[in-house]
Every structure is written in structure tokens, then in C-alpha cells.
Amino acid sequence: MRFYLFIIISVISVHFEAQVLDTSWRTIVARGEDAWFASKEAQVIADNVLLYQRDVGGWPKNIQMHKPLSQKEKETLKALKKRPEGCTTDNGATVQEMLFLSKVYRQVPRENYRIAFLKGLNYILEAQYDNGGWPQFYPLRKGYYSHITYNDDNMVNILKLLKEINDNSGYYSIRPSLPILNKTRKAFNKGIDCVLKTQYKQNGVLTAWCAQYDRQKLLPAGARSYELPSLSGKESAQIVLLLMSIEDPSDAVINAINHAVKWFEDVKITGIDVKLKRHQGRIVHKEVVVDKTALPLWARFMELDDNTPFFCDRDGIKRSSLAEIGDERRNGYAWYTREPQILLDEYPKWKMKILPAGEMQPKAHHNVVVSKDGTGDYSNIQEAINHTKAFPYDKVTIFVKNGIYYEKVKIHEWNSNIILIGESKEHTKIIYDDHFNKIALGRNSTFYTYTLMVEANNVVLKNLTIENSSGEVGQAVALSVISDQVAVINCNLLGHQDTLYTSGKGKQYYQDCYIEGTTDFIFGSATAYFENCRIHSKKDSYITAASTPRESRYGYVFNNCRLTADEGVAKVYLGRPWRIYAQTVFMNCELGAHILPAGWHNWSKSEAEKTAFYAEYKNYGQGSKPDARVSWSKQLSERESELFSKKAVLGNNKDNLKREWYENVL
């Protein structure tokens, strides 16, 4: 009886092993987690996986890891351990092996499986470029292998792995240490940032992604002879699905998804299908046929300028139809895909999921209307503010119709969550004319001269002109902000000396604003980020006078701004330190010829040359002369510039992609 039982068990075991060996490595890795991963067969395969892993942490691609190894083959693999050549994440390599080890480890928690998994994770972290992308091969290989690679879902596979680990979802049974988790979170965020930066703009409109990008210029790049720079109908779908998996997505992520979905809708192909003829499991003929009942298709490659599908043989010449290329490439490559349909099916559910977090577009209604002609709820702005609820839970919108409002306005500390929005920036004007000598309250009179003061947190000012009209009579503030999480969007801030006072230790965001003045016309201690603003000098003097507290991590950051001046103005400094720990950084800004070569002034405070932080990064224009700047200022490297991103300066969620306060400001 025992003999027959042994025979039965042996037959079952051999049959089962034969089933495993006859399938593909990808299929084995993808199978659902079950008791098989505790079996002897699984452990033998895991030992193979360990042998194939190189000391650098990665694995080669297209290896059937489950195939039995002879002793000679094992010795050869051991000898290759120290050679990193061929390690890659292409075609699922490294990520697949890590997943398999994780599944076996859950059943058989051996330390060598855990160590190999973590070595693989470290390999992936080491392979990431500073800009957030990943190459096909690491260590780097010459040619297209070093491009940032979305092809065959290379980056998506990596980012999915990092996301599962960061989310502690339990998908992977091996949990890294806290320091490594911090690295994986940073790597994921940088990766998503790279995804957003590389979304292709067609005539200024976001579309989809290309299969690979130049790692330095972030421009579309080709790979193999038949893989020319193009928009991808296949890889882009998986990128968008990844973005849709992010909880509480930022505005940038939402914007990327919405534009990509619209692009997929625009470029889908209907009325045709691809018919395949197989022989012994291989595709031997592929043909496009008319079929009005077929599900939509998307082309693998589309022209960058107009989305026209194209096809290419190994000669690298574009053709307009699949029939025009040879059998080898026609039958051996996936020229069409239906993957985007999964995305389009999921999109409505994703849209409903994010809607409760707040509408993505400005609401059409306004809580309170101010109008000079008496048709609103109030005829002046201050009255409207005074009648709003103190410390409201919800946003209170005060819509101000076009007109000149000659009044001194104060948004009190208890008037938080106010949105003060004008009908138009050019014609909704708040004007007052207090100045230092008019106030006459002693040495601190400047701080009483404001036209509009914001004391409350969580305030938005939009589509307004805020002006101190006293003229060139000394200190005269137009806008004073002394609170936290205040956004000023599409506003004109007009004055002469001390136009904008950014006070306190809070965070302030200025976008698409025009700010003009003469001397120190942007000054104060707050952390403030200026984006896409025009900074206009009206006389030879100083633009900024930061008084950044010693303990503050950031002061002023100007990004993608344009510095201009009145005619005849030719000697303007970027800044001087009102207090000796002043911090001011100009990045990617166009500097006019009025900016002095020295750039910065120490305000006759020699100690400030050691304590202040004045820096620039990739500025351009006639006023950008990095070699002529004062020796105590700094030109940032690309890595250093990342420390001054909007999220780094203003964000409160440094290690994730949740919506930040400045992304909820209309």
C-alpha cells in the first residue's frame, strides 16, 4: 500500500513540476499567492533567482528563472555575481524577481530571500536619475538604454512597486527599515514629478507620453530603429492608471489625468480591427480589416505634432499603414493596443472619487457680492468683510464687481477662509494713499500705511489691483500679508517704496502677479514663493529686502518670473538684507539689462555676507551674469535647485502627493 501511495505522490509531483516548467517565468510570478509558494519546487526556483541576482542588486532580463540549472550553470552564475553588466528593469526584470521572492518569503521566511529583496530595492533606488526618471539598464549602457524609459511599462512597474511599499499595502511581504522607506517615498515622489514634467505638450496643450526621453533635456527620444520619437498609445495608458491610483491627488496630477483622457478620446480609432493568423502558436500573418463592430483601437506610435499613426520597419522609414512594412516587424510587434479602454472605463469612477474633495473648477456662485452701483449685497469691501462669520468652517467668497474702491481694507485674524475675488484684475481696483509721513506714528509708521492688510490665515486674493497711490513719498505699502497660507493670484500690486510687505513666519504664494515699485518693494520675513510673476522696477534701487528669521528654512523664491524696468532704469540689485539672515533665490527667471552684474548688495552689513543666502539657478536674459555676481552669492546646481521647488518651500506634505494648500486656491 505504501509503495502504491509513493508512486501516486511521485506521479502527481512530477506532473505538477512539469506544468510549472512548461509555463513562462512571467506567468509563474503573476500567479495568485497560495500554498505552492511554500513548496519544494518554489524554493528551488527561489534559489535560482538568488543565483541570477548580481551583487549590484539587479537581475538580467528575459531569463526563465524556473528552468532547472546544472551544476556547471550554477558555478557560471556564481562567477558572474560581481559583474553588473546586463542588470535591468526592462521587460519586468528585477521587479518580477523581487515579487517572486516576496511571495515565497511570506510562506517560507528565510533571511536570504529578504536580503535579496532589499538588495533589489536598493538597486532600483540607486538607478534613479536626479530628475526622477529611470533608465533601461543600470549601470548605464551607451545608446538609447540610458534614456528615461516608459517603454514596456519600465518606469510604471518601478513606481507601482515603490507605491505598494510606501502604502504598506501588504502586497509585498518584506518591509524595509524606516530610513529605506523614507528613500522610497522620496523616489516615488520624484518619479511622479518626472512623469508630470515629461507629459508632452502639443501646441501648448498636454497630451500623453512618449516611450522614452533624453535624460538631460527631457525631450522625446528614439530607441530601436523602428521606435522613433512619438506619442505612445500603449505606455501612456498605464502611466495614467498609475496616476489615478494616487490617493488625494495634487492639482498637477489631476490636470495631467484629465488632459490625457481627453487625448485618448480624441485619438481612438474605430471601424477597424487587426486579424491574426497563427501557426503552432506563432503569429504568421497580421492584417488590418474594416469592422464597424470592433472595439476601439489605439496606435502604438503617433506623430508628435498631429497624432497621426505611423508604422516603421527596421530601416527606420515611417509608413502610413501596417501593410507597408515587412512580415518580420509587422507580425512581431504590437502596433495597436486596446489598453486605453481600461483607462476610459475607470475614469468616471475616479472622477467621482475625487469630486468630494472639492470641485476642480471654480464655483459659479459667490456668497457675497460687493458693487459700487448698489446692485450687490454691500457697496464697499470692508463692510462685506466685517459681516462675514468669524472663523468659518467653509470658504466664504466675496465677489467684488468692477469699480474703484477707495478704502483701506483689513481682513481680520478671525476672518479666515475668505476668498476675495475681483471681476477683473484691470478694472477691480482697491486704492488708498497712506504713507510714512502721513501716518506720523514714529519709526514704525510704515506698517500702518497698507491699502489692504491680511491678518487671517487661509485667504485667497484674486483678480484685483491693489494700489498705494501716495506717489514717491517714501515708505507706502500697497499689500501687507502677516499670516499663513495666503495665495495672491493674478493681481496687480502697485506702489513705489515698500509695495509688498510679506510679514510673519507663514507661507505665502504669489502667482501670475504684476508687482512694481522703486526701493525694497518686496520686503519682509515670510516664506514666499513667486511664480510666473512680472517684477517691475521704477528706479535704480533694490527689488527685495528680506528679513528671513534665522530659524526659517526658506525666505523668498522667485521661479519663472520676468524682471523688467522703466526706460532709463539701469542699476538695480536683486536684493539686499533687511536682516542679516535674509534668503532670496531667483530660478529660471528672465533678468532684464537693468540688473547690475554684482546682483546683490550687503546693505553695508559685512556680517550679512556670511549669514545671508542669495542664490540663482538657470536665470537668463541680459541681466543674468553669474560669473560677475558678488562672491558671497551662490549659483545652484540642479540637485540643489530641487530643494527650492514649490512643494519643498510651501508644502506641508513633504513625503507624499496629497493636495497642498496652494493647490486648493481656485
Mean pLDDT by 10 residues, the chain (666 residues): 36 39 83 90 97 98 95 96 96 97 96 98 98 96 96 96 94 95 95 96 93 95 94 95 93 92 95 90 89 93 96 94 93 92 92 62 63 87 93 91 96 94 94 94 94 96 96 95 96 97 96 96 97 97 97 96 96 97 97 97 96 96 96 95 93 72 76
Work out how many domains the chain is built from and give that number.
Answer: 4
349 and 463 inside one domain = no
Other C-beta atoms lying within 10 Å of the C-beta of residue 266: 9
160 and 183 inside one domain = yes
15 is a domain residue: no
71 and 49 inside one domain = yes
Strand-pair partners of 422: 400
> Which of 503, 530, 550 finishes a domain?
503
6 is a domain residue: no
8 is a domain residue: no
644 is a domain residue: yes
pLDDT at 94 (0 to 100): 98
- The H or E element containing residue 345 is helix 339-354
Query: ∠602-603-606 over CA atoms, to 5°?
Result: 50
Q: Which residues are annotated as catalytic? A: 498, 520
d(CA 467, CA 195): 41
541 is a domain residue: yes
Nearest by Cα to 267 from 192, 319, 353, 200: 200
pLDDT at 22 (0 to 100): 54
> Which of 172, 195, 218 finishes a domain?
195
pLDDT at 32 (0 to 100): 86
pLDDT at 3 (0 to 100): 36
CB 458 within 8 A of CB 467: no
CB 546 within 8 A of CB 556: yes
510 is a domain residue: no
497 and 609 inside one domain = no
301 burial (CB, 10 Å; 0-12 / 13-18 / 19+) is buried
> Which of 503, 530, 560 finishes a domain?
503
35 and 155 inside one domain = yes
pLDDT at 321 (0 to 100): 94
pLDDT at 1 (0 to 100): 38
pLDDT at 2 (0 to 100): 39
**On the CB side of 380, how many CA atoms lie within 13 Å of its CA?**
10
What's the pTM value of the predicted model, to 2 decimals?
0.59
CB 661 within 8 A of CB 457: no
Q: Is 206 helix (H, G, I), strand (E, B) or coil?
A: strand
